[in-house]
Amino acid sequence: MTAGGLSIRGLRVVFDGFVAVDGVDLDVAPGDIRFLIGPNGAGKTTLVDAVTGLVKASGSVRFGETELLGRDVHRIARLGVGRTFQTAALFEELTVLQNLDIAAGAGRGPWTMLRTRRAVPDDVAFALEAIGLAGRRDTLAGTLAHGQKQWLEIGMLLVQNARLLLLDEPVAGMSHEEREATGELLGKIAADRTVVVIEHDMDFLRRFARTVTVLHAGKVLSEGTVAQVQADPKVQEVYLGHAAAESEAVEA
Amino acid sequence: MKALTEMNPRLRAWLGFGLGALVLFAAAPALLSDFRLSLLAKYLCFAIVAVGIGLAWGRGGLLTLGQGVFFGLGGYAMAMHLKLADAGPGNMPDFMELYGQLDELPAWWAPFANPAFALAATVLLPMLVAFGLGTLVFRRRVRGAYFAILSQALAAAMVILLIGQQGTTGGTNGLTDIDGFFGYDLDDPVNQRMVYFIIAAVLLGLLALTRQLMRSRYGELLVAVRDSEERVRFLGYNPANVKLVAYVVAAGMAGLAGALFVPAVGIISPALIGIVPSIEFVIGVAVGGRAALLGPVLGAVAVAWAKTALSERFPGTWTYLQGAMFVLVVAFLPGGLASLWGMVRRRRETPPAPAPVTGDQALIKEVAV
Ligand SMILES: Nc1ncnc2c1ncn2[C@@H]1O[C@H](COP(=O)(O)OP(=O)(O)OP(=O)(O)O)[C@@H](O)[C@H]1O
Ligand SMILES: [Mg+2]
């Protein structure tokens, strides 16, 4: 399976008359790390929901050659589209190993499913190392620290063999070192995948984004490299000023 | 005790089954009178239903409030065969002769004269119905309370249907006076004992099967679906299929339990399979502990035993006691009696060291992806 690019045309999501995503066109090339930013309520999460089949949408979303709109959530996932959630969604009563093993297993046949896991599959062992949780593989996911939960989510995407990763605020609530580690992990992941990251954190964005799309009120406001977007007066007006004010408020 | 908890799980399982076999096959027959042993046979039938509920509800989160339907399908399939066998080839069952409305055996009764067909039907019929219902319900993402209400409605509908068709189903009385069991006279205590042993063996066998299911990858996936169905979907699974398997297996177990109940007790009737018995199955499981393997079995036997003992002594109060028990368990001991064991164990151990706040970030940097 070669990494495909993401290509969105005229995407529109309407909730009871409220237009949350309003005619978005978006292209992400294979191997890119695209950051999706925008003020609260801009429609970032809704866009990811539409791509992954969680909400109904009109327009077109292509991953490689395949149209995703209109397919079931689990079918889209099987095509190699993986996502994380704004709040970590793990199987809290299962261990780290079990979480990863389930994520790795959507293609397993009935016979394998009905048997007990005898050894740790290679891809799972690999992911355990990659996310730094090898020493905690028998820990219940629910008892992990916040940052570890986010990594486990990323690890699940790795073993799921997702070629397009959609990460919804993966570093929210992480310490500075944890953010650095996560960013570097993303860089490695992107080598043979396509990564879209929703993020509010500007420092993190400057460090790790390759390209940026700014959403505002359901529309694309600006797009380009970090420098281009930062220099865009429209962006400064609606978003960067807003975020700066916000982070000052948080730090105060 | 500590040694027991640290033991290799496989060894522990063998020991557990050995102990179970000892109790069921040696201790109980030696210690209990024929009457008590036949009561135990009945309780063990409920325990078989409970094992299935433990899987579907405890592990899968499916509140199966209509297991009476499957218990009934299995029970009626078995009873129809035994009634036909009692009547002899070419004859109609006694109650049909009695009501005198029918000239010949209804067509849907006829295949049940064949023992292989009837035996297969006791398990496959409930599984088929569960498959149909489950497919409709889980695909449409009906869950929680609606699934429970639908199950109850089905139980009620089945009872109404059975009562309405008195001429061919025995109506409110059900199918009674079952004398023989594949050539063995059920009035003979020796044969009653044999029925008890069959039931005990089936229970142990199904426990082994369920243990394997729970420990398998499927068992882990089932828990994942219970706790976060949406997340499972995003990993590429269809949760409807995962739930369907547990639901169909539980229905098959309930059907087999119903089938074994008939020779053990000698009757199957609408009162044994309607809304109230369906709820009672679940109460036993809740009391014992729904997510544990043995919790449902012990709960089902304990509640059924308490029902007999208490309604002998204080007739009329049982319903309230049972309701109170259910509320108490749900409110104060959601893991059921089985969770007491775990609590005791944890008390004895030293509290676990708190998890380190930050993880091994350094490792992330070093490992190439
Ligand atoms: N299921 C829904 N029903 C109705 N409105 C919704 C629904 N989901 C989202 N919305 C609305 O759509 C808009 C976009 O929401 P979305 O969650 O996509 O924003 P976001 O850009 O991810 O914001 P944040 O940064 O706060 O996560 C918001 O106004 C939100 O209230
Ligand atoms: Mg969001």
Q: Examine the pLDDT at B152 and tell me if it is beyond 60.
A: yes
Q: What is the mean pLDDT of chain A?
A: 89
Within 13 Å and on the Cβ side, how many CA atoms surround B327?
A: 6
Tell me if B300 sits within 8 A of B40, measured CB to CB.
no
Query: Where is pLDDT greater, at A237 or A113?
Result: A113
Query: From the CA of B356, how many Å to the nearest CA of chain A?
Result: 8
Average pLDDT rounded to a whole number, residues B231-252: 96
Contact assignment for B355 to A77 by CB distance below 8 Å: no
Q: Does A108 touch chain B (CB under 8 A)?
A: yes
Q: Hey, are the CB atoms on A102 and B215 less than 8 Å from each other?
A: no
CB atoms within 10 A of CB B39: 18
Average pLDDT over every residue of A58-65:
94
Residue B354 has pLDDT above 50, yes or no: no
> What are chain A's domains?
30-42+80-251 (3.40.50.300)
Overall average pLDDT of the A24-51 stretch: 93
Tokens 């729904």 belong to residue? B290
Query: DSSP class of residue B185?
Result: E
CA distances from B262 to A226, A245, B77 (A): 75, 75, 10
Which residues in chain B touch residue A78, judged by CB atoms under 8 angstroms apart? 236
Residue B262 reports pLDDT greater than 70: yes
Domain boundaries, chain B: 32-274
Distance CA B125, CA B167 (A): 22
Instruction: With cut-offs at 50, 70 and 90, classify the pLDDT of residue B30.
Output: very high
pLDDT digits (tens, 9 = 90+) for B174-199: 999 998 999 898 888 899 999 999 99
pLDDT value at residue B349: 57
Lowest mean pLDDT of A133-142, A168-177, B233-242, name the range: A168-177
Is A125 or B315 the better-scoring residue by pLDDT?
A125
CB of A22 within 8 A of CB of A218? yes
State residue B121's pLDDT score.
97
The pLDDT of residue A52 is above 80: yes
Q: Do A185 and B369 touch (CB under 8 A)?
A: yes
pLDDT at res. B335: 84
Tokens of B252: 């098959």
> What is the pLDDT, as a whole number, of residue B359?
31
Question: How much is the pLDDT for A174?
Answer: 87
Q: What is the pLDDT of residue B356?
A: 35
Query: Pick the residue with more confidence: A142 or B310?
Result: A142
Give the ligand at the shortest distance from the Cα of A43.
1
Helix (H, G, I), strand (E, B) or coil at B180: strand
A163 at B interface, C-beta within 8 A: no
Q: How far is CA A44 from CA A51, A202, B209, in A?
A: 11, 16, 47
Among residues 235-254 of chain B, which lie with CB inside 8 Å of chain A?
Answer: 235-239
- For B107-132, the pLDDT digits (tens) are 999 999 999 999 999 999 999 999 99
- Expressed in angstroms and rounded, the spacing between residue A200 Cα and the centre of ligand 2 is 10
Which of A22, A45, A197, A220 for mutating ligand 1's site (highest number of atoms within 8 Å of CB)? A45
Please name the residue ranges forming H helices in chain B. Answer: 2-6, 9-21, 28-31, 34-53, 67-87, 94-99, 115-139, 144-164, 166-169, 189-215, 217-227, 229-234, 239-265, 275-288, 295-313, 318-332, 338-348, 361-366
Residue minimizing CA distance to atom 16 of ligand 1: A43
pTM of the full structure = 0.88
pLDDT of residue B357: 31
- What's the length of chain B? 369
More confident site: A110 or B144: A110
A171 touches chain B (CB under 8 A): no
**Mean pLDDT, range A189-198, rounded to an integer:** 90
SS3 per residue for chain A: CCCCCEEEEEEEEEECCEEEEEEEEEEECCCCEEEEECCCCCCHHHHHHHHCCCCCCEEEEEECCEECCCCCHHHHHHCCEEECCCCCCCCCCCEHHHHHHHHCCCCCCHHHHCCCCCCCCHHHHHHHHHCCCHHHCCCEHHHCCHHHHHHHHHHHHHHCCCCEEEEECCCCCCCHHHHHHHHHHHHHHHHHCEEEEECCCHHHHHHHCCEEEEEECCEEEEEECHHHHHHCHHHHHHHHHHHHHHHHHHHC
- Quote the mean pLDDT of chain B: 88
Rounded distance between C-alpha atoms, residue B226 and residue B239, angstroms: 9
User: Which chain A residues contact residue B231 at CB under 8 A?
Assistant: 85, 89-91
| Amino acid occupying residue A190 | A
For residue B365, CA distances in Å to A166, B152, B159, B277 come to: 21, 56, 65, 59
Residues from chain A contacting residue B238 (CB–CB below 8 Å) = 72, 74
CB B260 within 8 A of CB B202: yes
Task: Tell me, in angstroms, the distance from the centre of ligand 1 to residue A25's CA.
Answer: 18
Query: In 3D, which of A159, A155, A175 has the Cα closest to residue A167?
Result: A155
pLDDT over threshold 70, residue B361: no
Q: What confidence score (pLDDT) does residue B348 get?
A: 64
- Beta-carbon separation of A180 and B238 below 8 A: no
Q: What is the pLDDT of residue B193?
A: 94
Within 8 A by CB and 6+ apart from A145, the residues are B355, B356, B357, B358, B359
CA B293 to chain centre: 12
With a pLDDT cut of 70, the percent of chain A lying above it is 93
pLDDT at B97 over 50: yes
* pLDDT at residue B369 is higher than 60: no
Q: What is the identity of the amino acid at B218? A: Y
CB within 6 Å of ligand 1 — which residues?
A 15, 18, 20, 38, 40-46, 86
**pLDDT, tens digit, for every residue of B44-92?**
999 999 999 999 999 999 999 999 999 999 999 999 999 999 998 888 8
Taking 50 as the threshold, does the pLDDT of residue A103 lie above it? yes
Sign of the dihedral through C-alpha B339, B342, B347, B351 = negative
Q: Is the pLDDT reported for residue A156 higher than 70?
A: yes
ipTM at complex level: 0.88
- Which chain A residues are Cβ-neighbours of B224 within 8 angstroms? 91, 94, 98-99, 102
